[in-house]
Amino acid sequence: MRSKLICRRLSESENVFDLVVLGAGSGGLAAAKRAASYGAKVAIIEGDRVGGTCVIRGCVPKKLLVIGSHYREYIQDSKSFGVDLLGSSIHTSTLLLNVRKEVDRLNQLHISMLGKSGVHLFSGWGKFVGENIIEVKPKDPLKSSYKICGRKILIAVGSQPVRPNIKGSSLGYVSDDIFLLEKFPKKIVIIGAGYIACEFACIFNNLGVEVIQIVRGDNLLKTFDKEVSNFLRDYMRSSGVKIFFEHEVKELLGSKGDINVITKKDSSINCDATLFAIGRKPFINGLHLDVVNVNSNLGKIIVDKNNMTSNSSIFAVGDVTDKVNLTPVAIEEGRVFADRLFGGITRSVDYQYIPKAVFSQPEIASVGLSESEACDEYGTKNISIYKTSFRPMSQALTKRNRKCFLKLIVDIDSNKVVGCHMAGENAAEIIQMAAIAISMGATKSDFDRTMALHPTIAEEFVTMI
Ligand code: NDP
């Protein structure tokens, strides 16, 4: 009752918006700008930096570190190609500094794009204080809180890294901290086997850091095709990453810069840094979702097919929801939401063929089903597997003997390619294009009649027998 009164009073002021977006990350920015393009009056509230996880402390700075981390191998291999770069040195402090400068540039770019789109940016942390009403606590402690009102509200606050509840866990880094380092450690223990653990293990290893990866299960990246994750495991090990499977960390002892990682098997590893990469959780603390009866499950906001929450004027997109947690998915969810609510366009997000990639060394990428998923869906006898592994030309003159791996999974009955997987250079770029064909229902015959582009790695996908 009280909140309705506040909303009515607010609606006479200028702080009433057609849409209020909580969180200026990938999903929130996409939705806000798209809604504003239809003439909606839009506010976006951000407590941290505009750009969100992807731009500030995720995909973008990570990929730049990945690119930077390849130079060590290029330098080592240069002599084989008649260019002697040996003697060159790598300065990780310069790399980290330059990555931060690029992030700053993108942060400013996103702020200016919001302005050009006519979206009102409010810097501060928002929380629900009533139906349709958000209270914003400004970042500047000298300023007082204020309220804004949204006819519709979109929660796009994303997620944050999980820190385990073990003794000494504050001694360890989470992925956010890595981007703030001045220089890399000499020896790091990475805990986890998912995207972030594998990507950072390879970044650090390529840049000369001694890496030990501790994995509680028996393999890396369990959501990927097993042969692809096995391929990555062997490649990472042959590159120098020490991986211990079926080990769990009990506690961290020591101090920052001199840490003893104690496992549940009571072994101890001394290192100067540790990284917890054990998943991410929705960033809903402090939102006061109970005030507006927005339901969640294990902290993830429950949404329907239109991204509506249990409150019909509140929607949610991206990592804060119980759907797929990837940047392009959040962007598409944000745009579809805005198209439907403010543009009168009814369309939906296609979740069926979402390509995914891990920017490890080698890169791995896939679209469609893994072999075990295909077996479950079609039956083992009803699928055909085509695969190949070979040394790409980039390795022909080097002494590394590194290979790539490609795999197609075909439903025998329909002849459709239902899974396409790759480990090797440019895997993500190649699988992005394969995703178009596969989402259109391409058959193995379509792949076979496609002319090869020679000499490439990707041509193997159209010549497999
Ligand atoms: P993931 O979900 O990919 O992997 C989490 C890993 O941590 C798993 O290996 C899991 O083991 C392990 N784990 C969980 N809890 C514990 C624990 N208590 N002790 C030890 N190990 C544990 O999480 P990430 O943090 O790597 O990444 C989070 C998400 O961010 C990804 O799922 C993805 O959506 C997104 N992301 C995407 C990227 C990309 O597209 N390239 C890059 C980075 C992140 P188990 O397998 O046994 O459960």
Atom of ligand 1 minimally distant from the CA of 359: 41
Q: Are strands 280-282 and 268-271 parallel, antiparallel or unpaired?
A: unpaired
Nearest CA to ligand 1 atom 31: 195
The most distant pair of C-alpha atoms in the chain lies apart, rounded to whole Å, by 78
State the number of CA atoms in the 13 A half-sphere of 26 facing the CB.
22
Which residues contact ligand 1 via a Cβ below 6 A? 164, 191-197, 199, 216-217, 222, 248, 277-280, 325-326, 356-359
Q: Give me the pLDDT at residue 139, please.
A: 86
Q: Give me the pLDDT at residue 7, please.
A: 52
Overall residue count recorded for the chain in this entry: 465
For every residue of 85-105, DSSP letters joined together read -TT----HHHHHHHHHHHHHH
Identify each DSSP E strand in 249-349 by its residue range. 249-255, 258-263, 268-271, 273-276, 280-282, 296-297, 300-301, 314-316
Tens digits of pLDDT across the chain (465 residues): 344 444 544 444 569 999 999 999 999 999 999 999 999 999 999 999 999 999 999 999 999 999 999 999 999 999 999 998 888 888 999 999 999 999 999 999 999 999 999 999 999 999 999 999 999 999 888 999 999 999 999 999 999 999 999 999 999 999 999 999 999 999 999 999 999 999 999 999 999 999 999 999 999 999 999 999 999 999 999 999 999 999 999 999 999 999 999 999 999 999 999 999 999 999 999 999 999 999 999 999 999 999 999 999 999 999 999 999 999 999 999 999 999 999 999 999 999 999 999 999 999 999 999 999 999 999 999 999 999 999 999 999 998 889 999 999 999 999 999 999 999 999 999 999 999 999 999 999 999 999 999 999 999 999 999
- C-alpha–C-alpha distance, residues 236 and 361, integer Å: 7
In the set 110, 288, 421, 454, the catalytic residue is 454
CA–centroid distance, 277 to ligand 1, in Å, is 6
Q: Give me the pLDDT at residue 12, please.
A: 46
Question: Which residue from 10, 28, 40, 23 is spatially nearest to 129, judged by alpha carbons?
Answer: 10
Q: Give me the pLDDT at residue 3, please.
A: 45
Contact (Cβ atoms closer than 8 angstroms) between residue 373 and residue 383: no
- Which residue in the block uniquely carries the two structure tokens 């390849």? 70
406 conformational bin, left if phi > 0, alpha if psi -120 to 50, beta if neither? beta
Alpha-carbon distances, residue 392 vs 306, 396, 417, 423 (angstroms): 44, 7, 24, 11
Nearest CA to ligand 1 atom 9: 193
- C-alpha torsion 208→195→376→461, nearest 10: -60
Q: Give me the pLDDT at residue 401, please.
A: 86
Q: Give me the pLDDT at residue 140, please.
A: 86
CA–centroid distance, 197 to ligand 1, in Å, is 7
Contact (Cβ atoms closer than 8 angstroms) between residue 452 and residue 463: yes
**Catalytic site includes residue 454:** yes
Q: What are phi and psi of 338, to 5 degrees?
A: -70, -40
